[in-house]
Amino acid sequence: MNPAEMSTCVIIERTLAGSPAFRHIDERLYIVKQGSCFVMINVLPWGEDRAVVRCVAQLVKGVTLAPELARQLLELNGILRFGAFAFVPEEELILFAHSILGGPSLDEEELLATVRDVALVADEYDDRIARHFGGQTMQELLEESAMTRILERDPDGFEFKN
């Protein structure tokens, strides 16, 4: 990890550590939960001496990018303060993302504004997109995954103990 990445991680942890919605997942990877969405905060190298903070929220998975959906997302991209919607065709996944410059000059207010806006936009639009165009929100996928794990356990093997 270069010095800019290290200082970026220190600033992220110092700035967000007080929030109950914040989790440090791995080296250079953090998550903030907002409503039904999760914002992944990733610190990426930029050359040998700089860093970028990339905030990405996965909104809906399993959605076909119909022309009407594409048009609406592009129109939203044109009016949002910052950040943009994106589509990952291999996973049929709609994202919302924004990046800022990291390093020792990373501004805590800019970091908070970025995370907050990405989280609020994602939380606002995930349900709308899924309702009108299909697919599942990340919250639905997580709940489905958790329920599958619960149901896969052997209920006959469970015993209550005194």
* Span 80-126, pLDDT tens digits: 989 999 999 999 999 999 999 999 999 999 999 999 999 999 999 99
Residue pair 107/12 in contact by the 8 Å Cβ criterion: no
Report whether pLDDT(148) > 60.
no
Mean pLDDT score across all residues of the chain: 88
The pair of structure tokens assigned to 10 is 């220190």
Q: What is the pTM (predicted TM-score) of this model? A: 0.83
Task: Write down the residue that tokens 């020792």 correspond to.
Answer: 104
Confidence of residue 139 (pLDDT cuts 50, 70, 90): confident
Q: Which of 78, 12, 85 is nearest to 42 (CA)?
A: 12
